[in-house]
Amino acid sequence: MDKEQLLSGRDWIFESNEILVLTGAGLSTASGIPDFRGPQGVWTKDPDAEKLSDIRYYVSDARIRKKAWRSRRDSPVWEATPGIGHRAIAAFERTEKIHTLVTQNIDGLHQMAGSSPDRVIEIHGTIREVACLECTYRAPMKEALERLESGEEDPACPACNGILKSATVSFGQSLIPEDLARAERAACACDLLLAVGSTLSVYPVAGLVPMAKERGAKIIIVNAEPTAMDDLADAALFGDLNELLPALLNWNPEVSDTE
Ligand code: APR
């Protein structure tokens, strides 16, 4: 860990009041949910798995949909609990310095850790709900998983019989316009952007970093490996975020979250 960068990062955080926190899959690996591109990433180990997250394959191939439903049923999300990273950010929120928390994760662990839902933007959606691709039907994921348990392999929308999918944003789908607009407003308004556990390689979310930089925000990146935005970082901290984040945010995981 680069001590000097850590200390500078802590000073800038202490001096900031409107922080945009941007999180990625690295935050949830400690909760048992693999990331995508890290050394043990889902796509690092099985490039074909990416098809499950591409809307073209999903709508055209029932086999891909059935495989996607099985992977939702078997997802480690259902057993996962917030990790040190989620808890550090939730505790830090009590300083009132977080303007917005944009997460690329679909697991809902930030809210479970206590981050206020009105500050969290789940910019790539959520696995905890399902949505119809052809009408406005939306429901809790557990209802669709109950249909799977009773033998349906590819449950269709109960309202219009259209294709049903987790309420996540797949490749080929556009982000929810209001979510992206809100995230971009936060990037323009923040005085510091803290990116944690993300390769910062997927647009338009990765574009929040240069957007904040252009408006004079400090950029701090915390990740186990280099990211696509390291050249914009005022401080790039490489290592385990479960150690770096508590040090950066001056939070001790041993102390109970309620104190
Ligand atoms: N500490 C620090 N970094 C970690 C840790 C950890 N404990 N665990 C994993 N990482 C790092 C990995 O090394 C990797 O660089 O987190 C990063 C996760 O990057 P990705 O797997 O690319 O995940 P993310 O950036 O969130 O992906 C963005 O792409 O796959 C789509 O829609 C999906 O939201 C996702 C988006």
Kindly report, residue by residue over 11-49, the tens digit of the pLDDT. Answer: 999 999 999 999 999 999 999 999 999 999 998 998 778
Asked whether residue 48 falls in the same domain as residue 21, the answer is no
Alpha helices in the chain (DSSP H): 3-15, 42-45, 55-60, 62-73, 84-92, 109-113, 141-149, 177-189, 208-214, 241-248
208: number of CA atoms within 13 Å, CB side?
A: 34
CA-36 nearest atom, ligand 1:
21
Which of 220, 209, 216 is CA-nearest to residue 184?
209
The Cα–Cα gap between 115 and 119 comes to 7
The pTM (predicted TM-score) of the whole model is 0.96
Q: How many domains does the chain have?
A: 2
The Cα–Cα gap between 141 and 71 comes to 13
Asked whether residue 199 falls in the same domain as residue 94, the answer is yes
Last residue in a domain, options 168, 195, 223: 168
User: Domain range for residue 131?
Assistant: 36-79+127-168
Asked whether residue 54 falls in the same domain as residue 25, the answer is no
Testing ligand 1's pocket by substitution, the residue of 223, 240, 242 carrying the most ligand atoms inside 8 A of its CB is 223
**Cβ atoms of residues 205 and 177 within 8 Å:** no
Asked whether residue 5 falls in the same domain as residue 49, the answer is no
Pocket of ligand 1 (CB under 6 A): 24-26, 29-30, 35-38, 41, 104, 124, 197-199, 201-202, 223-225, 240-242
**Cβ atoms of residues 125 and 166 within 8 Å:** yes
DSSP class of residue 154 equals S
Residue 243's CATH number? 3.40.50.1220
Residue 136's CATH number? 3.30.1600.10
Asked whether residue 114 falls in the same domain as residue 138, the answer is no
Asked whether residue 44 falls in the same domain as residue 60, the answer is yes
Q: Identify any residues that bridge with 103 across adjacent strands, giving them in sequence order.
A: 23, 122
Asked whether residue 110 falls in the same domain as residue 26, the answer is yes
Asked whether residue 234 falls in the same domain as residue 140, the answer is no
Confidence at 169, pLDDT banded by 50, 70, 90: very high
Confidence at 246, pLDDT banded by 50, 70, 90: very high
Lookup: tokens for 117: 């839902």
Q: What is the mean pLDDT of residues 173-191?
A: 97
**Cβ atoms of residues 95 and 119 within 8 Å:** no
CA-50 nearest atom, ligand 1:
30
Question: Nearest C-alpha to atom 10 of ligand 1 is from which residue?
Answer: 26
Q: Residues 193-221: pLDDT tens digits?
A: 999 999 999 999 999 999 999 999 999 99
Asked whether residue 75 falls in the same domain as residue 87, the answer is no
For residue 222, which phi and psi values (nearest 5 degrees)? -120, 120
For residue 22, which phi and psi values (nearest 5 degrees)? -120, 115
CA-105 nearest atom, ligand 1:
34
DSSP class of residue 220 equals E
Three-state DSSP class for 255? coil
Lookup: tokens for 129: 């709900």
Question: Nearest C-alpha to atom 16 of ligand 1 is from which residue?
Answer: 26
C-alpha dihedral sign at 31, 84, 94, 183: negative
Asked whether residue 155 falls in the same domain as residue 227, the answer is no
Asked whether residue 26 falls in the same domain as residue 70, the answer is no
Residue whose structure tokens are 């104190």: 259
Cα 196 to ligand 1 centroid, rounded to whole Å: 9
Residue 110 annotated as catalytic: no
Last residue in a domain, options 168, 185, 220: 168
The Cα–Cα gap between 95 and 13 comes to 11
Asked whether residue 158 falls in the same domain as residue 91, the answer is no
Cα 131 to ligand 1 centroid, rounded to whole Å: 25
Which of 72, 111, 104, 73 is CA-nearest to residue 89?
111
Residue 54: CB atoms within 10 Å: 14
Confidence at 258, pLDDT banded by 50, 70, 90: low
